[in-house]
Structure 1
Amino acid sequence: MQLLFIDESGTAPNPGNATEVGFFVLGGVVIPEEVWVKLAADLKRIKAAYGVDGEIKWRYFAGDKGKRQTPLSHLSGEQKEALRTELYKALTAYKAVKIISVVANAPACYQNRGYITCADEIYWLAYKQLTERFQYMLQDLSRMIGHSVHGIVVCDNRGAQDDDKLRNLHATLMSSAGENVSKYQNVIEGLFIAPSHLSVGIQFADLVAGAIFRKFKAGDDRFYNQISQAIRTSSTGQIFGYGIVKFPKGTW
């Protein structure tokens, strides 16, 4: 069983603030069930070594002077950087762990796609493309080992109303195979939604989404380079379109 954990970085914007926001990222980490146990132990060990009691989130690594306390507030800037590096090393230590993410260029979405009219549609189309790549990965694994490999999707909770919308979208995707929708033969029906502080996988997905967002938003690939070896690729090593989907397609 393969587990796809999804979290986001940035906020899918409406047309009025698309240029200001720039990018929206859905970060996904695919973890085999047997590796999840090891990663959970790694996360517990690393947090204990740094005296972290609570959730790990990308935004907690920023300076928090004058802001509310976080589980990382007791760490210096150097210690936070060392902690993040340890977490990325733990994630990429397992070759079976794969990263699949979607990067949405918000201004281009509204400029080039007449059917996109609001933030929800950017989120939903990004989610569709992310889960499609998960299905393709499951198909590849099935062909490789000679029997069907299945997976489930686990998302961070976003609030009751948004979660209900996402559950309905997921159900629609699972049952609407056609010209523009993949046939999700390997994905177990039903979407699991969990608070990030209770999910090992979502905490790692948050760190992945943050690293990718930082690369595209600020042109800073320091963190992206630490996870790049785990990004899903084609048989020829191509990342874009396989492990990272740029939406909409184009030259950006």
Structure 2
Amino acid sequence: MFLLYADESGTPGGPDQEHFVLAGVSVFERSAHWLSLELDKIAEKFDPQDPASVELHGAPMFAGRKFWRKFEKEDRLEAIKDALRLIDGRKFRIFASVVRKGAISPDDPVHYTFQQIVTRFDHFLAREHVHFRNTQRGLILFDKSSKEAPIQALTTQFKVDGHEWGRLRNMAEVPAFIDSEATRLIQLADLVAYAIFRKYEKADEQFFSIIERKFDFFGGIQHGLNTAI
């Protein structure tokens, strides 16, 4: 089974931010534990006695908020980069959708971006079956949020009634919502979403440059990144 750990960056409503990002990192189930251990090593640098208490989240690490206030900015930013470097494009794939909210108005940014990443992930699973005889189901794991109910409803709708391009055919179940404190890979998804958000909202590519070649790619075409800007 392929697991897609997903999170958002930016706010879907309000005028304070122009962009909204939904992004995920696809990991084969047997690789998830190894990747989590590598992220633990990064967290351990900031609290060797209790690394499990250190949550890797882009916005507070960048700004130096709360727990991160006591660490030098250079160390905080390098930790973000170290985590993003763990995403080996041969083993793991990024799926993301970024929108400028004004460009898709009056459409809902959550609906738009979720449809993009779930269908692209579904197409990836189909491609694995057709081209590589690797038949696997997929499961999307989101950070817990107030958007759980609408996203669950959208998934059911896409499976039963279809979406703009067909129906979901390779999902094992509707998305699961888990606390980011419980899994490093949701935290990694947060860092990916933040890296994309910084590029489009702030024209800051220092993090995006690390992941720009790690989006799902096949046949000379980048499938993993959708932009509506």
Contact 2:19 2:100 in 1 (8 A): yes
**What secondary structure, in the 3-state scheme, does the structure 2 residue paired with 1:62 have?**
helix
**What secondary structure, in the 3-state scheme, does the structure 1 residue paired with 2:13 have?**
coil
Question: d(CA) in 2 for partners of 1:182 and 1:199?
Answer: 32
Q: Is the aligned partner of 1:157 residue 2:144?
A: yes
**What secondary structure, in the 3-state scheme, does the structure 2 residue paired with 1:230 have?**
coil
- Equivalent in the alignment of 1:243: 224
Question: d(CA) in 1 for partners of 2:153 and 2:76?
Answer: 38
Query: Normalising by structure 1, what TM-score?
Result: 0.83
Specify which of 20, 36, 50 is matched with residue 32 of structure 2: 36
- Equivalent in the alignment of 1:90: 86
Specify which of 169, 173, 176 is matched with residue 154 of structure 2: 169
Q: Which residue identity is paired with 1:183?
A: R
**CA offset at residue 243 of structure 1?**
1.2
Counterparts in 2 of 1:8-157, with a 5 A limit?
8-13=8-13, 17=15, 20-51=16-47, 52=51, 53-64=53-64, 69-70=66-67, 72-92=68-88, 95-110=90-105, 116=107, 121-157=108-144
**CA offset at residue 74 of structure 1?**
2.9
Question: d(CA) in 2 for partners of 1:153 and 1:204?
Answer: 14
**CA offset at residue 181 of structure 1?**
4.3
Instruction: Give deviations 1:213-246, integer Å, cap 9, x for gaps.
Output: 111111111100111221112311x33xx11111
Aligned Cα root-mean-square deviation (Å): 1.8
Question: d(CA) in 1 for partners of 2:213 and 2:104?
Answer: 28
Query: Percent same amino acid at aligned positions?
Result: 21
Q: Which residue identity is paired with 2:200?
A: F
**CA offset at residue 45 of structure 1?**
1.7
The 1:216/1:204 distance shift into structure 2, 3 A limit, reads same
- Equivalent in the alignment of 1:224: 208
The 1:76/1:165 distance shift into structure 2, 3 A limit, reads same
**What secondary structure, in the 3-state scheme, does the structure 2 residue paired with 1:44 have?**
helix
**CA offset at residue 143 of structure 1?**
1.7
Q: Which residue identity is paired with 1:131?
A: V
Alignment gaps of 5+ in structure 2: none
| Count of residues paired in the alignment | 225
Q: Name the larger-Rg structure.
A: 1
